[in-house]
Structures are given as structure tokens and as C-alpha cells.
Amino acid sequence: MWGRHHAAVPLGVVDVGSNTVRLLVEAHGKPILSLRESAGLGAYIERDGVIPDAKLAETAAHVRGFVEAALAAGAEEVEVLITSPGRQAVNGTELRETIAAATSAPVRILSAQEEGRLAFTGALGSMHVPSRRRVAVVDVGGGSSQIVIGSGREGITWSGTIDLGSRRLTSRLLSRNPPNHEDLVAARGEVDRLLARLELPDVGAALAVGGSARALKRLVGGRLGADELDYALSLLELTSAADLVARYDVNPSRAEILPAGATILAAIQARLDTSLRVVRAGLREGAVGELSARERAA
């Protein structure tokens, strides 16, 4: 059910998130172009509730450039998806309208449920998972975090979200660089408070997608279990963002928010009570697969 749809022609997706704007163009299930630009929308939303006009224009310019790059790479269709900034900002609709005016590509704001579904589809479609095994896919973004549970046989059977991601948690409680132990304890308490509202089913396996998970894998070298995440948090307590960039080749914009991402992933891992396997495919891959399926059905 969750196998990837391999489009015969290139298709593209632009993902507008709290931290970054990203482009993925795929053909025959293989990436042929991948680009990213820092956005930093989540910090403004957390602080003021709105995205400033200058940031709206800057983000629209990034999207326009990415759509043009995708078309130049041969993409037959490109779709623009806005995740948590569209839901959380007071002027989220204005963000969509500004982007839509800057490019001919269709633009839509994803609900938290749609965002989680696409991440689930992309993650499971990228690897072999026994069809009966119940799997959790964890996607920690900049503004929100999704947990989706299901199997190849049953499809999605449960989903939940917390309105907190790595950028928002950094702005709220982890602005010190590096954070001290008290900062991390307070941040974990905030995440646990929000997770307490969710009743997570038991799972047989868990996958983690997104930039924080990939960056943490660089630090620990494998799966993200309780011990590995404890080690990562201890390391992040002692290591500045600049040192993370220099020593572990973490992207500078990711390094600033990695303690928050690690805190959220550690809290979710503890609730799931199983280690997280980091996979590269996620929302954008799921969205390209969905776009391909629509193309085939047309």
C-alpha cells in the first residue's frame, strides 16, 4: 500500500517550513534536484504571532526561484506546500497569497494531519517494512511535531501532533548557546506537558524523519535510542552551535535549534519506548508520490 509511485516524468515539491524552504524534484523515484534556503519564520511567529512583510517577500522570492529551478530541471508539475507557518501565523493566509502571487505553481497550507500523513507515506515508501508491523513515524519540524502510527496492511490508524517544534522551543526556552542543564530540563518539561495529552498506541518500530533527526544521527552514529539521545543532549549542553558546525558538519541554521530538536525527539522516544531509526525520506517524498498518483489517475 505504501510503495513509492515512480513518476515517469520529473515532478517537484516546494516545502515551506518554519526553519527552511526546501525543493525536491524526483523522476523514477530518484531525486534529481534538491535545494534549501533558511527561512526562520518560526522565530517571528513565536515572538510576535505574525510574519513581517519583509519575510513574506523574502520567502516568496525563495519559492519563486525554486519553482523556476524545478521547471528548468524538467519538472512537469510543481506544487508548493506550506506547513506550520501557514497554520500558526496570524497572517498565514497572507503568506500563502504572497507566494501564490509570486509563482504560477499551486500553493496550499497543509493541516497537521496532512503533514503527518505525507511524512508517514514518504518514510514507509522508502524502505521495506513488514505489512503487519505497526510503525510510528515521528516528524519534528520547526513549528510543530507529528507522530503518525499505522501499518502497510491497515494504513494509518492513529495520529497526533503537538504545536511545538525545534524553532518554537528554541525561541521559548533554549535561546542560550549552548543551553545549560536547567534550560534543557525546563524544555523537556514543556514537551512532556504537551505529550501528556496524547495516548500513544504500542508500536513495533519507529522511524524519525526531518532535519533534527538527521543531524543527531551525525552526532551518535546510528539509531536514536534512550542512551544515544541522552548522550546527544549531554554533548549539546557543552557544545556551541559554531562547534557543532565545525566538528560535526551540522548546517549552521540547524545547529542553533538542535538542542530543542533533540529534546523533543528524546521525549517522544521515551513515550514510544523504542529506538528511532532515522530515514531520509519524509514529507517531500510522500508529497511527490501523491502528486505522481494524481498524475497517473488523471
Task: Please provide the DSSP assignment of 98-138 as one string.
Answer: HHHHH-SS-EEEPPHHHHHHHHHHHHHHTS---TT--EEEE
The pTM score is: 0.90
Segment (H or E) for 257 = helix 252-272
Question: Grid coordinates in use for 89?
Answer: 501565523
Give the alpha-carbon dihedral of 117, 123, 125, 131, to 10 degrees.
-80
Q: Do domains 11-112 and 128-278 have the same CATH topology?
A: yes
Q: 10 Å Cβ neighbour count for 131? A: 11
Instruction: Return the pLDDT at 298.
Output: 62
Cell of 186: 525546563
128-278, CATH topology level: Nucleotidyltransferase; domain 5 (3.30.420)
Element (H, E) at 20: strand 20-27
Residue 152 CB burial class (10 angstroms; 0-12, 13-18, ≥19): middle
- Residue holding cell 522508502? 126
The confidence score (pLDDT) of residue 7 equals: 59
Predicted pLDDT of residue 208: 96
How far is residue 295's CA from residue 87's CA, in Å, rounded to a whole number?
Answer: 27
Q: Note the pLDDT of residue 160.
A: 95
Longest dimension (CA), the chain: 55
pLDDT for 2 equals: 47
Task: Give Cα 131 to chain centroid, integer Å.
Answer: 25
Locate the domains of the chain by residue range: 11-112, 128-278
Using CA atoms, how far residue 64 sits from 23, 75, 82, 133, in Å, is 11, 14, 14, 41
239 Cβ neighbours under 8 A, 6+ residues apart = 178, 247
What is the fold of 11-112? Nucleotidyltransferase; domain 5 (3.30.420)
One digit per residue, pLDDT tens: the chain, 298 residues? 444 555 578 999 999 999 899 999 999 888 999 999 988 898 899 899 999 999 999 999 999 999 999 999 999 999 999 999 999 999 999 999 999 999 989 999 999 999 999 999 999 887 777 778 899 999 999 889 999 999 888 889 999 999 999 999 999 999 999 999 999 999 999 999 999 999 999 999 999 999 999 999 999 988 999 999 999 999 999 999 999 999 999 999 899 999 999 999 999 999 999 999 999 888 999 999 888 888 777 6
* Cα→Cα distances 277→70, 161, 202, 245, 274, Å: 30, 19, 16, 23, 9
CA distance 68 to 113: 29
Q: Could you give the 3-state DSSP secondary structure of residue 67?
A: helix
